[in-house]
Amino acid sequence: MSGLLQGFLEALGALSGRVQSSVVQLYTDPAQLSSGDIVVLGASVFCVTVVVLWTCSGGDGIRKVKIRPNFTPGKVYYHAIPPCKSIPCLSSFGLKLETYMRMADIPYEASSDFVQGPKGQIPWIEYNGQAMGDSNLIIEFLNKEKGVDLNQSLSDADKAVSR
């Protein structure tokens, strides 16, 4: 058994060396990559992607998130990735949601924590004691709840183009 494990580790070390040299080749002179190097790089990217998705996935169901007990009725508590210098949110979905709330004059309190929402995603909101995820669903919900329509000045043709 020890010999089998040692053989596996040696093969893994050799593969790691080949991946490393292929990555260097990819950045220095990609035209010189052989088809075998491209296959090794592709397989490596695939394996890393699978591992990252597997470890970061939060499941398919609805998560139970901790809601603040003392909330202000009608106020949105917005959870997102912390801001970075002049960018309010590094996530495009968070940036979209925060921009929407600013344009619609919806009062909100930003919370820069990395706590995932009910769908295992960031951003998410708390509103009147309920948690909600998915920026598109949040925007639709707030449109109905707050009576906001940022598209009211658009013609039907403009609305069709914007979808």
Residue 156 amino acid letter? D
Question: pTM to 2 decimals?
Answer: 0.58
Predicted local confidence at residue 159, as pLDDT: 82
Give 102-107 contacts, CB < 8 A, sequence gap 24+: 103/150, 104/142, 104/146, 104/148, 104/150, 106/76, 106/142, 106/146, 106/148, 107/74, 107/75, 107/76
CB neighbour burial string for 12-30, b if at least 16 within 10 angstroms, e if fewer:
eeeeeeebeebeebeeeee
For residue 123, is the peptide bond before it cis, meaning its omega torsion is within 30 degrees of 0?
yes
**Is 105:63 a contact under the CB 8 Å cutoff?**
no
Tokens 């609305």 appear where?
159
Q: What is residue 130's three-state secondary structure?
A: strand
Q: Can you give the pLDDT of all 163 residues of the chain as single tens digits?
A: 577 767 766 766 777 777 777 777 777 777 877 887 777 778 777 777 777 666 665 555 556 777 788 888 889 999 988 888 788 788 889 999 999 999 999 999 988 777 888 888 889 999 998 999 899 999 999 999 999 988 888 898 988 887 6
For the record, the structure tokens of 63 come out as 């998560």
